[in-house]
Structure 1
Amino acid sequence: MRALLQRATEASVTVEGEVIGEIGAGLLIFVCAMPDDTYDTAKALALKISKLRLFKDDAGKMNLSLSQTGGAALVVSQFTLAADTSRGTRPGFSYAAKPDVAETLYLQFAACLRDLNIPVQTGRFGADMSVALTNDGPVTIWLDTNA
């Protein structure tokens, strides 16, 4: 799985003019399932993200995790993280998992974060979404379970 994390002071996702998910302080997590991913991949990624020390402690150092701060996660599916730009000028997306598998893994990933006691809001799989973010820092981290 691939994930792009953005530390946020606030984030939201809107579909057809309706806000369907929003958080205060925490992480906006764009996630993409790849063809070989499984439930175990989603679970391992959720655990890693919950423990990443991306939040400031009292000394201003990035020493606290999402779990430690009580922050929330806004999880948004984004198949474009699997873009292949090696040829030409139009990205290809054949490296992304098929939609039915990707949706299942996306939902499992969000559930795994909830199982770790992280408040989770989500986007809507396959929808045309508008995502708003106030990036804190800015802090943006790229994760790939196959790297």
Structure 2
Amino acid sequence: MASTTPKAAHLPIGRINTIMKSSSDVENVGKDSVILMSKAAELFIRKLVVDSFNCMRQDDPSGKTLKYQNLATVVQNSNKYHFLKDMTPMKITVREYKRIMARKNGKCDDEEEEEDEETVEVSSDSGSDEEGSVMSSRSSRSVISVPSD
């Protein structure tokens, strides 16, 4: 007879329980539902990583390191991950961002200044101003929000 005892979860059950209880509509959460949600989250993460790995192998068949760019490419190009697009933006350089903003504002690209090729994350925030907002993060990278059209 098969055992009905669940296998050890890789995600912390207590934290998932807390997240599930954080909804104002929920008072109690059954242990079985927490285990089921934990397993569903694990399977989702596994699928996302496998898809990202396959993307990496297409770009660089000899590659051995999964990078943020691979994950962002999968999220941006796949309809099944459309809900993650705002959380995993494609990275561009500051120079590319300035070119995009110059084209949007109708300016020429004649005045290119020599700057460091700093990597930035671009997200489409509907609530950002016309110029886009720039925030710095701990890893010395800038996050630029580009308004959506």
Task: Flag whether TM exceeds 0.5 (same fold).
Answer: no
Q: How high is the TM-score relative to the length of structure 1?
A: 0.21
Q: Which has the higher helix share?
A: 2
Structure ranking higher on relative contact order (CA contacts 8 Å, 6+ apart): 1
Q: Which has the higher strand share?
A: 1
Please identify the structure whose Cα radius of gyration is greater.
2
Q: How high is the TM-score relative to the length of structure 2?
A: 0.21
